[in-house]
Structure 1
Amino acid sequence: MLIISNAVHIPDDEIELSAIRAQGAGGQNVNKVSSAVHLRFDTQASSLPTFYKERLLALRDHRITREGVIIIKAQQYRTQEQNRADALERLIELIKSAVKVEKVRRPTRPTLGSKTRRLESKSKRGTIKAGRGKVDY
Protein backbone atom coordinates (compact mmCIF):
# COMPACT_ATOMS: atom_id res chain seq x y z
CA MET A 1 0.00 0.00 0.00
CA LEU A 2 1.36 3.38 -1.07
CA ILE A 3 0.62 6.18 1.39
CA ILE A 4 0.08 9.62 -0.16
CA SER A 5 -1.33 11.40 2.90
CA ASN A 6 -3.14 10.49 6.12
CA ALA A 7 -6.43 10.02 4.30
CA VAL A 8 -5.29 8.89 0.83
CA HIS A 9 -3.75 5.48 0.11
CA ILE A 10 -3.15 3.58 -3.14
CA PRO A 11 -3.45 -0.22 -3.04
CA ASP A 12 -0.58 -2.18 -4.57
CA ASP A 13 -2.81 -3.85 -7.17
CA GLU A 14 -3.54 -0.46 -8.83
CA ILE A 15 0.16 0.13 -9.59
CA GLU A 16 1.68 -1.93 -12.39
CA LEU A 17 5.45 -2.39 -12.12
CA SER A 18 7.51 -4.17 -14.78
CA ALA A 19 11.25 -4.71 -15.06
CA ILE A 20 12.93 -3.67 -18.31
CA ARG A 21 16.47 -3.26 -19.53
CA ALA A 22 17.98 0.15 -18.86
CA GLN A 23 19.32 2.43 -21.56
CA GLY A 24 22.74 4.03 -21.84
CA ALA A 25 26.21 3.00 -20.85
CA GLY A 26 26.87 0.18 -18.43
CA GLY A 27 28.45 -2.54 -20.51
CA GLN A 28 27.70 -6.17 -19.79
CA ASN A 29 25.52 -5.40 -16.75
CA VAL A 30 23.14 -3.20 -18.74
CA ASN A 31 22.94 -5.71 -21.59
CA LYS A 32 22.10 -8.70 -19.39
CA VAL A 33 20.18 -7.45 -16.34
CA SER A 34 16.67 -5.95 -16.35
CA SER A 35 17.26 -3.43 -13.61
CA ALA A 36 15.12 -0.52 -14.85
CA VAL A 37 11.51 -0.27 -13.68
CA HIS A 38 8.50 0.84 -15.73
CA LEU A 39 5.62 2.09 -13.53
CA ARG A 40 2.08 2.48 -14.89
CA PHE A 41 -0.75 3.97 -12.83
CA ASP A 42 -4.23 4.49 -14.28
CA THR A 43 -5.75 7.49 -12.52
CA GLN A 44 -9.24 6.96 -14.00
CA ALA A 45 -9.56 3.38 -12.70
CA SER A 46 -7.88 4.12 -9.36
CA SER A 47 -9.40 4.57 -5.93
CA LEU A 48 -8.12 8.15 -5.62
CA PRO A 49 -10.66 10.82 -4.63
CA THR A 50 -12.21 12.72 -7.54
CA PHE A 51 -10.42 15.94 -6.52
CA TYR A 52 -7.05 14.17 -6.91
CA LYS A 53 -8.07 12.71 -10.28
CA GLU A 54 -9.22 16.08 -11.65
CA ARG A 55 -6.07 17.85 -10.53
CA LEU A 56 -3.83 15.12 -11.99
CA LEU A 57 -5.61 15.24 -15.35
CA ALA A 58 -5.34 19.04 -15.39
CA LEU A 59 -1.55 18.85 -15.01
CA ARG A 60 0.49 19.54 -18.14
CA ASP A 61 3.06 16.80 -17.54
CA HIS A 62 4.69 14.61 -20.20
CA ARG A 63 4.40 11.57 -17.92
CA ILE A 64 0.58 11.66 -18.01
CA THR A 65 -1.12 10.39 -21.17
CA ARG A 66 -4.42 11.66 -22.59
CA GLU A 67 -6.21 8.67 -21.08
CA GLY A 68 -4.91 9.60 -17.62
CA VAL A 69 -2.25 6.89 -17.28
CA ILE A 70 0.89 7.96 -15.43
CA ILE A 71 4.04 6.34 -16.86
CA ILE A 72 7.30 6.64 -14.93
CA LYS A 73 10.56 5.02 -16.01
CA ALA A 74 13.20 4.64 -13.29
CA GLN A 75 16.69 3.58 -14.37
CA GLN A 76 18.99 5.72 -12.27
CA TYR A 77 20.23 2.98 -9.95
CA ARG A 78 21.98 -0.36 -10.57
CA THR A 79 19.52 -2.51 -8.66
CA GLN A 80 15.88 -3.17 -9.46
CA GLU A 81 14.83 -2.61 -5.83
CA GLN A 82 16.32 0.89 -5.73
CA ASN A 83 14.71 1.76 -9.08
CA ARG A 84 11.34 0.46 -7.85
CA ALA A 85 11.58 2.62 -4.72
CA ASP A 86 12.60 5.61 -6.86
CA ALA A 87 9.63 5.15 -9.22
CA LEU A 88 7.17 4.91 -6.32
CA GLU A 89 8.67 7.99 -4.67
CA ARG A 90 8.37 9.94 -7.93
CA LEU A 91 4.72 8.88 -8.22
CA ILE A 92 4.04 10.16 -4.69
CA GLU A 93 5.75 13.48 -5.48
CA LEU A 94 3.74 13.87 -8.70
CA ILE A 95 0.43 13.28 -6.92
CA LYS A 96 1.36 15.61 -4.06
CA SER A 97 2.42 18.37 -6.45
CA ALA A 98 -0.88 18.08 -8.33
CA VAL A 99 -3.07 18.61 -5.26
CA LYS A 100 -0.97 21.36 -3.69
CA VAL A 101 -3.03 24.55 -3.74
CA GLU A 102 -0.99 27.60 -4.67
CA LYS A 103 -1.42 30.74 -2.60
CA VAL A 104 -3.13 33.55 -4.52
CA ARG A 105 -0.81 36.48 -5.09
CA ARG A 106 -2.25 39.86 -4.24
CA PRO A 107 -0.43 42.63 -6.08
CA THR A 108 1.00 45.39 -3.89
CA ARG A 109 2.27 48.87 -4.70
CA PRO A 110 5.86 49.94 -4.08
CA THR A 111 6.44 52.03 -0.97
CA LEU A 112 7.47 55.68 -1.09
CA GLY A 113 10.91 54.82 0.29
CA SER A 114 11.57 52.22 -2.41
CA LYS A 115 10.49 54.70 -5.11
CA THR A 116 12.86 57.41 -3.84
CA ARG A 117 15.76 54.92 -3.52
CA ARG A 118 15.19 53.77 -7.10
CA LEU A 119 15.08 57.33 -8.46
CA GLU A 120 18.21 58.33 -6.49
CA SER A 121 20.15 55.35 -7.84
CA LYS A 122 19.00 56.20 -11.38
CA SER A 123 20.15 59.81 -11.09
CA LYS A 124 23.47 58.73 -9.53
CA ARG A 125 24.04 56.30 -12.39
CA GLY A 126 23.18 59.07 -14.87
CA THR A 127 25.80 61.41 -13.40
CA ILE A 128 28.41 58.63 -13.60
CA LYS A 129 27.59 58.07 -17.27
CA ALA A 130 27.52 61.81 -17.99
CA GLY A 131 31.05 62.09 -16.60
CA ARG A 132 32.35 59.65 -19.21
CA GLY A 133 31.91 62.12 -22.06
CA LYS A 134 34.54 63.98 -24.05
CA VAL A 135 36.82 66.21 -21.97
CA ASP A 136 37.06 69.85 -23.10
CA TYR A 137 40.23 71.83 -22.44
Structure 2
Amino acid sequence: MNIQLVSTKAIRINLDPLDIDLDDTSELESFAFDFNPMFPEEKDESNSFAIVFNGEMKNCKENYIIKVVFLSVFEVDELITVDFLKDNFALINAPAISYPYFRAFYSNFLLTSGYEPFILPTINFVQLRKDKLEAINSRS
Protein backbone atom coordinates (compact mmCIF):
# COMPACT_ATOMS: atom_id res chain seq x y z
CA MET A 1 0.00 0.00 0.00
CA ASN A 2 1.36 3.41 -1.02
CA ILE A 3 0.47 6.23 1.36
CA GLN A 4 1.13 9.90 0.70
CA LEU A 5 0.58 13.11 2.65
CA VAL A 6 -1.37 15.28 0.20
CA SER A 7 -2.33 18.38 2.20
CA THR A 8 -2.10 20.17 5.51
CA LYS A 9 -4.14 23.15 6.61
CA ALA A 10 -5.33 24.99 9.65
CA ILE A 11 -9.11 24.76 9.68
CA ARG A 12 -9.75 26.77 12.85
CA ILE A 13 -7.61 29.36 14.62
CA ASN A 14 -8.64 31.33 17.69
CA LEU A 15 -6.19 33.80 19.19
CA ASP A 16 -7.65 35.79 22.06
CA PRO A 17 -6.36 37.83 24.97
CA LEU A 18 -6.42 36.12 28.34
CA ASP A 19 -8.80 37.55 30.89
CA ILE A 20 -6.83 36.69 34.04
CA ASP A 21 -4.99 38.35 36.87
CA LEU A 22 -1.28 37.65 36.32
CA ASP A 23 -0.70 37.41 40.08
CA ASP A 24 -3.07 34.41 40.27
CA THR A 25 -1.37 32.24 37.67
CA SER A 26 0.52 29.14 38.72
CA GLU A 27 1.77 28.40 35.19
CA LEU A 28 2.99 31.11 32.86
CA GLU A 29 2.73 28.81 29.84
CA SER A 30 0.67 25.70 29.26
CA PHE A 31 0.13 23.58 26.17
CA ALA A 32 -2.47 20.86 25.58
CA PHE A 33 -2.46 18.60 22.55
CA ASP A 34 -4.62 15.87 21.03
CA PHE A 35 -5.02 14.16 17.67
CA ASN A 36 -7.54 11.86 16.03
CA PRO A 37 -7.42 9.82 12.83
CA MET A 38 -10.62 9.96 10.78
CA PHE A 39 -12.05 9.92 7.29
CA PRO A 40 -12.41 13.45 5.86
CA GLU A 41 -16.07 12.73 5.08
CA GLU A 42 -18.58 10.55 6.88
CA LYS A 43 -17.80 7.17 5.28
CA ASP A 44 -16.95 3.65 6.36
CA GLU A 45 -14.53 3.21 3.42
CA SER A 46 -12.30 5.64 1.55
CA ASN A 47 -9.00 5.99 -0.24
CA SER A 48 -8.03 8.88 2.04
CA PHE A 49 -7.94 9.63 5.75
CA ALA A 50 -7.03 12.59 7.91
CA ILE A 51 -5.17 13.26 11.12
CA VAL A 52 -6.84 16.10 13.03
CA PHE A 53 -4.62 17.90 15.53
CA ASN A 54 -6.04 20.07 18.30
CA GLY A 55 -3.69 22.36 20.18
CA GLU A 56 -4.35 24.90 22.91
CA MET A 57 -1.76 27.12 24.51
CA LYS A 58 -2.07 29.74 27.22
CA ASN A 59 0.70 32.26 27.61
CA CYS A 60 0.23 34.49 30.65
CA LYS A 61 3.45 36.40 30.02
CA GLU A 62 2.25 37.63 26.62
CA ASN A 63 -1.44 37.52 27.60
CA TYR A 64 -3.01 35.24 24.99
CA ILE A 65 -4.70 31.91 24.45
CA ILE A 66 -4.46 30.22 21.08
CA LYS A 67 -6.53 27.27 19.91
CA VAL A 68 -5.75 25.58 16.60
CA VAL A 69 -7.41 22.74 14.71
CA PHE A 70 -5.08 21.45 12.01
CA LEU A 71 -5.87 18.87 9.36
CA SER A 72 -3.42 16.58 7.54
CA VAL A 73 -4.88 14.51 4.69
CA PHE A 74 -3.31 11.29 3.42
CA GLU A 75 -4.20 9.34 0.29
CA VAL A 76 -3.67 5.62 -0.28
CA ASP A 77 -3.70 3.60 -3.47
CA GLU A 78 -6.40 1.19 -2.30
CA LEU A 79 -9.68 1.33 -0.44
CA ILE A 80 -9.33 1.42 3.34
CA THR A 81 -11.92 0.81 6.03
CA VAL A 82 -12.55 2.27 9.45
CA ASP A 83 -10.42 -0.55 10.94
CA PHE A 84 -7.41 1.07 9.24
CA LEU A 85 -7.88 4.04 11.59
CA LYS A 86 -7.02 1.71 14.49
CA ASP A 87 -3.84 0.53 12.78
CA ASN A 88 -0.31 1.54 13.77
CA PHE A 89 0.10 3.65 10.64
CA ALA A 90 -2.92 5.82 11.47
CA LEU A 91 -2.04 6.06 15.17
CA ILE A 92 1.76 6.32 15.05
CA ASN A 93 3.28 6.89 11.62
CA ALA A 94 0.81 9.32 10.05
CA PRO A 95 0.71 11.64 13.08
CA ALA A 96 4.51 11.51 13.31
CA ILE A 97 4.79 12.45 9.63
CA SER A 98 2.35 15.36 9.83
CA TYR A 99 3.11 16.70 13.33
CA PRO A 100 6.14 18.72 12.14
CA TYR A 101 3.81 20.68 9.83
CA PHE A 102 1.52 21.40 12.79
CA ARG A 103 4.52 22.46 14.91
CA ALA A 104 5.85 24.76 12.18
CA PHE A 105 2.43 26.33 11.60
CA TYR A 106 1.92 26.98 15.32
CA SER A 107 5.29 28.65 15.76
CA ASN A 108 5.12 30.68 12.54
CA PHE A 109 1.56 31.83 13.20
CA LEU A 110 2.55 33.22 16.61
CA LEU A 111 5.66 34.86 15.16
CA THR A 112 3.78 36.58 12.33
CA SER A 113 1.10 37.65 14.81
CA GLY A 114 3.71 39.60 16.77
CA TYR A 115 4.33 37.13 19.61
CA GLU A 116 7.35 35.13 20.60
CA PRO A 117 7.34 31.90 18.61
CA PHE A 118 6.58 28.83 20.70
CA ILE A 119 8.22 25.58 19.65
CA LEU A 120 5.81 22.77 20.45
CA PRO A 121 7.29 19.81 22.31
CA THR A 122 8.24 16.63 20.52
CA ILE A 123 5.65 13.88 20.86
CA ASN A 124 6.20 10.14 21.24
CA PHE A 125 3.27 8.75 19.25
CA VAL A 126 4.12 5.17 20.22
CA GLN A 127 3.26 6.00 23.83
CA LEU A 128 0.03 7.73 22.79
CA ARG A 129 -1.17 4.76 20.71
CA LYS A 130 -2.71 2.86 23.63
CA ASP A 131 -4.75 5.87 24.79
CA LYS A 132 -5.91 6.56 21.23
CA LEU A 133 -6.99 2.94 20.70
CA GLU A 134 -9.05 3.05 23.89
CA ALA A 135 -10.70 6.31 22.81
CA ILE A 136 -11.44 5.02 19.30
CA ASN A 137 -12.87 1.74 20.62
CA SER A 138 -15.13 3.57 23.08
CA ARG A 139 -16.59 5.62 20.18
CA SER A 140 -17.37 2.48 18.13
TM-score normalised by L of structure 2: 0.36
TM-score w.r.t. length of structure 1: 0.37
Which structure exhibits the higher relative contact order, with contacts defined as CA atoms closer than 8 Å and separated by 6 or more residues?
2
Q: Which has the higher helix share?
A: 1
Of structures 1 and 2, the larger Rg is shown by 1
Q: Which is strand-richer, 1 or 2?
A: 2
